Chains A and B, each alone.
Chain A
């Protein structure tokens, strides 16, 4: 393997080397799990290797499949196949396997897989999909391995299966009380036929000993000791350090640069222009999310500090291109112009919204807007790559290694099979690292220099070269009948795109709620061309749209003179599943529960303090949230408390992680609402660091009560669903506190002054 030839020392291996237990396969043949075309898992035989672990391990340990290996001392290594971005997947996926394998968690060591589609399906972090996609498949992997261990014990004892049971990593012969540990059985078990994964027996949830119990993060002991785990911590012998200066204007190219002068600066080994290959950089929504190699200047030095310092002497004449004429101000102006014209595209047209508005007893008009947002992962984009002789080895903090490998293969002209991608721990994802621009940059720079290269973006690179949450403008009219019932909804969404297609993450579904619950409803869209790259940010689409929908519903409730929470429940109506999978009953349930836990309607609040409510169906989960906010005379907003109720199905896999994640997502939403805005000026981003693009700080954080409703639905994910309602719940609380409606984000204290 290239990994061994290079004697690489990626953080995952360094950490593993000094951990207490070691496990790995020693056999030549291994059973591997993959997903069949029809969606079911299959186990297949793979010769000779099990690449994720081949380099080390304890003699005698046996791999039962690509996920599970068990050493003679009964220590169990379970592979987590997906990238860990802080969502807890390196703990959660192995929990699913360990539960059905029937071992104690204290026996288990988890290990991050490298990217390897021949062994693992769906190695990505995005869309809150890890739980729904893996809930049954990972459990089946564990159950299959357990069945093989039972079969090995049956052979050893010459007894029928009905006389065998398992517990805590042992098979027990019930009539005699004899036991054999999995560690003793594993070598034999690994040679046995693999059961049909679709027919293995799974536990009754009432017997769960790991699922549903709080398990602390698997890597947390290493994190609190500062051990090297992250992409930015990667060390490869002989590596050089790179920075990459792209044109501040998106799409701009290098006309000339003072490369000779830069090449003579201390420590600088290489300085060169990258022409780029940007043909498919800004893929529209629904297309493959490839990101291209942007043009720029690479500086490669013997230390990162020297490379970044040399950049300050860099003088580039840029050919800025047409995007230099675009600005946030210009977009807002154009959006207002388009608002007065018919929508270019009809997304949905139920009944006759125009006629219903004419006949309405009360009409409310409002214009809403939200800005571009960056991701600002705390670990800046980075990647380490070694490209030589038609092969590449890459250590990448990526949420989407498959797309990254394709991009590198395509851009560098390599065969995908000759590119090894190691998945490092990731210092925050939020959707940013579904794109792999940093990966192709590192690979290209390594190819040109012929050396292993660690590329690290500085924070300005990171803020100014993102795939931004697109800004959006919404022009709404709502109509109430004489009883205060919402009978008309007309919405013109001005977004970005071209040729009738929305830019990435800039779309709106025809099924967006309250569609299906307002008899006369029109959703239309108009699109402006955009040279700024956009992409998914945590709860893409919903992080802006839910602010608009849930704020405007709140406006209509107040216009009707009704309690906003009751108005929401009345609008949901009877229990049914609307097109798009939205279950009005589940939404009602979380709203009713949040009414109860927040004391909605039963609390006396001081002047300048208010409660706001909002809910969302997002990424298969249902969350209703109540925010209590206080607004000072100077317009300063203080969030006093948040109550959140979520329904993500029948089982919370890891309760401690679930509460942590929900609180974090809600605080993320509050940060977007209170602090964050990316401004485009002359085709470039005006903000350059965390002083002008500030994530939520500790003093802005509020206590958050999180409740989960258990429902009879298969478990779904949690990274995204709690975020969207936090934004409108806060804005609705501000209205309750001040009578002032927030229709533009972020919240501007000047508009809230008394």
Chain B
């Protein structure tokens, strides 16, 4: 079957089985390798993307269900203010160890701070608890999210002063 997907602001037509998870369409049909396979059952969060702005486990979403929704991946999230602040904060805090989960972490965090300008610790835990980091960088992930949320909601003058 042919499907036309709207990914990171561009159109991609792919010819795949309708039950193919969005994850594998992104990775192997569109060659966007940033979205990662971890468990295939929606338990680790490594495959997290945005579908119409909401964080979705792409390993559990068949391509046939995507329709005309706007899909954003780690390769495109830097074009959103939340994503760009998160990527910058991730580097400033030096979050990464192996890095395999981090695309999914950033995608979950970007969906969070796009809707919640000042997430509490509880908000962060609720939004992020389904994203496993096997290296255990959780403490820095929390710190980076807080830093990015602060920058995201600040005015340019406030950021300069920070």
Are these two chains actual partners, yes or no?
yes
**Smallest CB–CB gap between B154 and chain A, Å?**
20
**Interface on B for A, CB 8 Å cutoff?**
16-17, 19-21, 24, 28-29, 31-41, 43-44, 46, 73-75, 78, 86-87, 90-91, 94-103, 106, 124-125, 128-129, 131-142
**Smallest CB–CB gap between A236 and chain B, Å?**
13
Q: Is the CB of A698 within 8 A of B91?
A: no
**Smallest CB–CB gap between B106 and chain A, Å?**
6
**Smallest CB–CB gap between A301 and chain B, Å?**
11
Q: Which of B28, B43, B102, B141 has a CB less than 8 Å from the CB of A304?
A: B28
**Smallest CB–CB gap between A498 and chain B, Å?**
33
Chain A: interface residue total (CB-CB under 8 A): 68
Q: Which of B44, B73, B140, B141 has a CB less than 8 Å from the CB of A690?
A: B44
Q: Is the CB of A698 within 8 A of B131?
A: yes
Chain B residues with CB below 8 A from A610, complex form: none
Q: Which of A27-35, A212-220, A569-577, A708-716 contacts B (4 or more CB under 8 A)?
A: A212-220
Q: How far is the CA of A219 from the CA of B97 in the complex (A)?
A: 10
Q: How far is the CA of A703 from the CA of B138 in the complex (A)?
A: 10
Question: Which interface residue of A216, A241, A304, A660 has the most chain B CB atoms within 10 A?
Answer: A660
Q: Which of B28, B35, B74, B138 has a CB less than 8 Å from the CB of A241?
A: B28
Given contacts A226-B34, A664-B97, A690-B43, contact A220 B132 (CB under 8 A): no
Q: Is the CB of B73 within 8 A of A226?
A: yes
Q: Is the CB of B99 within 8 A of A304?
A: no
Given contacts A214-B94, A224-B102, contact A428 B40 (CB under 8 A): no
Q: Which of A57-65, A81-89, A150-158, A466-474 contacts B (4 or more CB under 8 A)?
A: A81-89
Q: Which of A229, A303, A664 has a CB less than 8 Å from the CB of B28?
A: A303
- Given contacts A663-B137, A691-B39, list 4 more A-B pairs with CB under 8 A: A379-B36, A694-B132, A698-B142, A699-B125
Q: Is the CB of A689 within 8 A of B135?
A: no
Q: Which of A219, A221, A305, A668 has a CB less than 8 Å from the CB of B24?
A: A305
Given contacts A220-B99, A305-B21, A378-B101, contact A225 B78 (CB under 8 A): yes
Mark each residue of chain A from 659 to 691: 1 if its CB lies under 8 Å from any CB of chain B, else 0.
Answer: 011011111100100000000000000000111
Residue of B nearest to A229 (CB): B99
Question: Which interface residue of B98, B124, B131 has the most chain A CB atoms within 10 A?
Answer: B98
Top-10 shortest CB links A-B: A226-B34, A86-B98, A427-B100, A226-B74, A667-B136, A664-B136, A223-B99, A86-B97, A233-B33, A228-B33
Q: Is the interface of A mostly helix, strand, loop or mixed?
A: loop
Q: Is the CB of A657 within 8 A of B37?
A: no
Q: Which of A656, A665, A696, A704 has a CB less than 8 Å from the CB of B94?
A: A656
In the complex, whether A69 has a CB less than 8 A from a CB of chain B is no
**Smallest CB–CB gap between A539 and chain B, Å?**
14
Chain B residues with CB below 8 A from A696, complex form: 136, 138
**Smallest CB–CB gap between B82 and chain A, Å?**
13
Q: How far is the CA of A691 from the CA of B17 in the complex (A)?
A: 27
Q: Which of B36, B87, B129, B138 has a CB less than 8 Å from the CB of A224?
A: B87
Chain A residues with CB below 8 A from B20, complex form: 303, 305
**Smallest CB–CB gap between B18 and chain A, Å?**
11
Given contacts A224-B90, A226-B34, A305-B20, contact A663 B99 (CB under 8 A): no
Chain B residues with CB below 8 A from A362, complex form: none
In the complex, whether A230 has a CB less than 8 A from a CB of chain B is yes
**Smallest CB–CB gap between A204 and chain B, Å?**
27
Q: How far is the CA of A667 from the CA of B46 in the complex (A)?
A: 19
**Smallest CB–CB gap between A269 and chain B, Å?**
15
Chain B residues with CB below 8 A from A371, complex form: none
* 13 residue pairs from A and B, CB less than 8 Å apart: A220-B90, A220-B94, A227-B34, A304-B28, A378-B134, A428-B134, A459-B40, A660-B140, A663-B136, A666-B136, A691-B39, A698-B138, A698-B141
Residue of A nearest to B46 (CB): A378
Chain B residues with CB below 8 A from A660, complex form: 94-95, 97, 137, 140
Residue of B nearest to A458 (CB): B40
**Smallest CB–CB gap between B62 and chain A, Å?**
10
Q: Which of A11, A235, A304, A690 has a CB less than 8 Å from the CB of B132?
A: A690
